[in-house]
Amino acid sequence: MNETTPTKDARGGALATVGTIYRKEMREVLRDRRTLVFMIVFPLLLIPLLLSLVTELVSSAVEKAEAETVRYALYDGERLPGLAEALTQDPGFEAVEGVAREDIKAAIRDERLTMALTVREPFDAGAGPQTTVDLFYNGASKISKVERKTETVLKRQSERLRVARLEALGLDSPDKQSAVLEPVKLETHNTADMREVLGEQAGGMLPYMFIIFCYLGALYPAIDLAAGEKERGTLETLLLAPIPRVLLVLGKFLVVFTAGVVSALLSIAGLGLWLVYQGQEVGGALGEIIKSVTALDLTLIGLMLVPMAAMFSALLLSISIYAKSFKEAQSYSAPLNMLVIMPAVLAMLPGIELDWTWALVPITNISLAIKELIKGTMDYTMLVAILGSSVVIAAACLVFCTWWFNREDVLFRG
């Protein structure tokens, strides 16, 4: 009993010392306006603003493309009966005269034409060969509806001519015509729901943003608490205090860790607020995905970002301890920034899926897990491997940071 009491007292004293250092360093960090911007303002506001901007831009661009009148020129239209009339009757098309055939590309480049159609060979009402129609247009825009609109008109016209040709051959019922045109029919049944399909395409961006905010939230406090103190000449005074260095570095680490976690959680809170107040207004398949993201999904995302914040905090604090000045610490942090971004980007690449191997790869495992949560296909048993490996790596980084802080040649290098 007498042996355990001092041990408990020592532990309580160590915790009180760490708490004192934590409160002192946190007060100094919160006085820095730049830190507050990266830790609070950016994560809380930037994601909702970006999501609102992207959804608004995409919606307006699609609506504009749908409503845009296609200015076209038709060459040798008499070779395909009914084509000129079909285009004229469609309000989405406007004929343009006076463009020579050899000037088609130049006219499309100069936006005098949206597209041009040329009919290669005359249509044979009997059982003749196919008639080919060439479409010329600028397909650089991903939201361009020119090809789809033109295909719609040509398919309607092709269907009328096909029915007429089959009736001339004595195939007057739709069943007979279908059996001749398509002897074997394939019906596909995609088992993936729309959330999974679109989540695969767009789910890589959100974890990337969460990880970046987590990193930026820890960056400036880490630089200020070591390299910044060297510049101000206060680190030497702190080291003269009768406090074990392990407690000093632990107190500083907890401040940086707090900043990283707060930044990450505020970015998730910003997403949650956007989902509640604006996400429900988004229609279509994207709206269905947004409505299917639950509070549990957001909670699990926040849980996975905690050990990653610890990892970033320990690494950034180690860099700051080594640097002689604030500016030098910023320079050393740039390569680490790339090391953070590259694993996060891997989650966006096609073919990279969360499995038990990727679950052990730091940063990438969290990016892939967040994408799976957005898709609604998360294997929750993998959370043990993801969180376990992240905690082990974060602990190793903290041990290294403590050892690094105890080296005089690192703290006061020439």
Q: For 101-110, how does the pLDDT look when each residue is reduced to its tens digit (9 = 90+)?
A: 888 899 888 8
**DSSP codes of every residue in 72-101:** EEEESGGGSTTHHHHHHH-TTEEE-----G
Parallel, antiparallel, or unpaired: how do β-strands 115-119 and 93-95 relate?
Answer: unpaired
Mean pLDDT confidence for 170-184:
71
pTM attached to this predicted model: 0.66
Mean pLDDT confidence for 351-368:
88
Confidence at 4, pLDDT banded by 50, 70, 90: very low
**340 near 363, Cβ under 8 Å?**
yes
Neighbours of 407 (CB within 10 A): 13
Quick one: which H or E segment has residue 237? helix 235-240
Residues contacting 202, CB < 8 A, separation 6+: 374
Confidence at 240, pLDDT banded by 50, 70, 90: confident
Confidence at 1, pLDDT banded by 50, 70, 90: very low
Confidence at 49, pLDDT banded by 50, 70, 90: confident
* pLDDT over threshold 70, residue 276: no
**Would you state the structure tokens that stand for residue 159, as one six-digit string?**
């269907």
DSSP 228: I
Tell me, what's the pLDDT at 31?
Answer: 76
Tell me, what's the pLDDT at 377?
Answer: 81
Q: Distance between CA atoms of 218 and 256, rounded to whole angstroms?
A: 5
Neighbours of 365 (CB within 10 A): 27
* pLDDT over threshold 50, residue 398: yes
144 or 319: which carries more pLDDT confidence? 319
* pLDDT over threshold 70, residue 285: no
End-to-end CA, the chain: 50
3-state secondary structure of 357: coil
**390 near 227, Cβ under 8 Å?**
no
Q: Distance between CA atoms of 41 and 267, rounded to whole angstroms?
A: 9
Confidence at 317, pLDDT banded by 50, 70, 90: very high
Tell me the pLDDT tens digit for each residue of 288-309: 566 666 778 888 888 888 999 9
Tell me, what's the pLDDT at 399?
Answer: 93
Q: Distance between CA atoms of 300 and 69, rounded to whole angstroms?
A: 47
Tell me the pLDDT tens digit for each residue of 109-133: 888 888 898 988 887 766 667 788 8
Tell me, what's the pLDDT at 314?
Answer: 93
Give percent of the chain above pLDDT 70: 82
Confidence at 286, pLDDT banded by 50, 70, 90: low
**215 near 309, Cβ under 8 Å?**
no
Mean pLDDT confidence for 261-280:
75
Helices H / strands E in the chain, number of each: 18, 4
Confidence at 408, pLDDT banded by 50, 70, 90: confident
Apex 377 CA angle, 376 and 379, nearest 5: 125
DSSP 292: H
- Residue ranges and CATH numbers for the domains of the chain are 13-60+195-411 (no CATH), 69-181 (3.40.190)
Q: Where is average pLDDT lowest: 63-77, 101-115, 185-199?
A: 185-199
Tell me the pLDDT tens digit for each residue of 11-29: 677 888 888 888 888 887 7
Tell me, what's the pLDDT at 3?
Answer: 46
